[in-house]
């Protein structure tokens, strides 16, 4: 498999993830239909279920892409979720695309294409100490923020928890890479591996922290930091965990993705 093929596999996975989100949002009404005294429609159940399945097959695409691409490139491609979600919301949900968002969408598309152009091949190196440090930092930070949340303003709480949730969500790419390097396609090796349970922990923690942040913090603080750190944290951690060399060209791609995420989230 070529690097370009791996790039498009990761991109396809993110499209399916966004499609799953959009289908679930479009057909979510069946969950509360009985409470509203309405009949549950089979079409809505099917649409919501298809969306759920699509959301959960996305890691398979990331795993395949990691066979040729470094985790930082796979993580950066995750920024495409925002573009796909905006476009699918327009076509499936009838939501309008603000003219002010178009420059950010174009910048994201260019940055993603550039990230693929300068993308590095996957590494077979894995530094356990760096992995655990990279896992511990956002986990400990989230715990400290949650313990002291009453002393923080809604703006700061949203920003801090959004950062922690995004970092843990993005770190899942490094967990997949750890499974790939240490266990390959050995199913029982995966089941017995601590990295699988770190992956599941990060996914569940990211989801719950984000929900708490939405409830207690400000949305305009949660969204930019969540999406930004979901791309940037694993991209930076890769240089320590996978020992891939740093190329100056990649910094331009990360900067473009980060700026476009910020503009699309506010």
Instruction: Give, in order, the Cα–Cα distances in Å from 140 to each of 125, 132, 161, 196, 224.
Output: 26, 12, 12, 20, 21
Burial class of residue 145 (count of CB atoms within 10 Å of its CB; 0-12, 13-18, 19+): buried
Whole-number Å distance between alpha carbons of 201 and 179 = 15
Contact in structure between 214 and 222 (CB atoms under 8 Å): yes
Q: Where are the domains of the chain?
A: 1-123, 124-243
Q: What is the pLDDT of residues 227-236, one digit of tens each?
A: 888 888 998 8
pLDDT value at residue 130: 96
* Count of CB atoms situated within 10 Å of the CB of 13: 25
- List residues bridging with 121 in a β-sheet: 69
Whole-number Å distance between alpha carbons of 108 and 11 = 13
Contact in structure between 168 and 228 (CB atoms under 8 Å): no
Q: What percent of the chain has a predicted confidence (pLDDT) above 90?
A: 33
Mean pLDDT to the nearest integer, 162-168: 92
Q: At 119, is the secondary structure helix, strand, or coil?
A: coil
Q: What is the pLDDT of residues 34-61, one digit of tens each?
A: 666 677 678 888 988 998 899 889 999 9
pLDDT value at residue 204: 94
Look over the chain and give the mean of its residue pLDDT values, rounded to a whole number: 85
Torsional sign, CA 7, 128, 206, 167? negative
The alpha helices in the chain, defined as continuous H runs, are 3-26, 42-65, 71-77, 80-93, 102-117, 128-147, 154-183, 187-192, 194-216, 219-241, 248-265
Q: Record the pTM.
A: 0.81
Q: What is the pLDDT of residues 56-65, one digit of tens each?
A: 899 999 999 9
């Amino acid at each position: 498999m070529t690097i370009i093929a791996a790039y498009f596999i990761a991109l396809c996975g993110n499209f399916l993830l966004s499609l799953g989100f959009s289908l679930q949002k479009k057909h979510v009404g069946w969950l509360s239909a009985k409470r509203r005294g309405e009949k549950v429609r089979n079409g809505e159940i099917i649409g919501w279920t298809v969306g759920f399945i699509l959301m959960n097959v996305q890691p398979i695409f990331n795993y395949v892409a990691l066979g040729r691409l470094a985790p930082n490139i796979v993580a950066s491609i995750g920024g495409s979720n925002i573009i796909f979600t905006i476009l699918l919301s327009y076509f499936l949900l009838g939501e309008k695309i603000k003219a002010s968002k178009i420059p950010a969408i174009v910048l994201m598309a260019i940055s993603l294409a550039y990230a693929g152009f300068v993308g590095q091949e996957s590494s077979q190196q894995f530094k356990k100490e760096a992995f655990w440090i990279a896992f511990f930092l956002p986990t400990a930070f989230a715990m400290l923020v949650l313990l002291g949340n009453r002393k923080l303003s809604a703006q700061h709480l949203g920003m801090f928890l959004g950062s922690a949730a995004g970092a843990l969500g993005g770190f899942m790419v490094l967990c997949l890479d750890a499974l790939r390097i240490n266990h390959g396609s050995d199913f029982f090796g995966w089941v017995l591996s601590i990295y699988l349970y770190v992956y599941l922990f990060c996914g569940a923690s990211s989801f719950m922290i984000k929900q708490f942040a939405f409830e207690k913090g400000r949305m305009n603080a949660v969204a930019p930091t969540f999406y930004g750190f979901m791309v940037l944290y694993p991209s930076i951690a890769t240089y320590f965990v996978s020992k891939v060399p740093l190329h100056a060209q990649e910094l331009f791609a990360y900067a473009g993705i980060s700026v476009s995420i910020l503009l699309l989230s506010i």
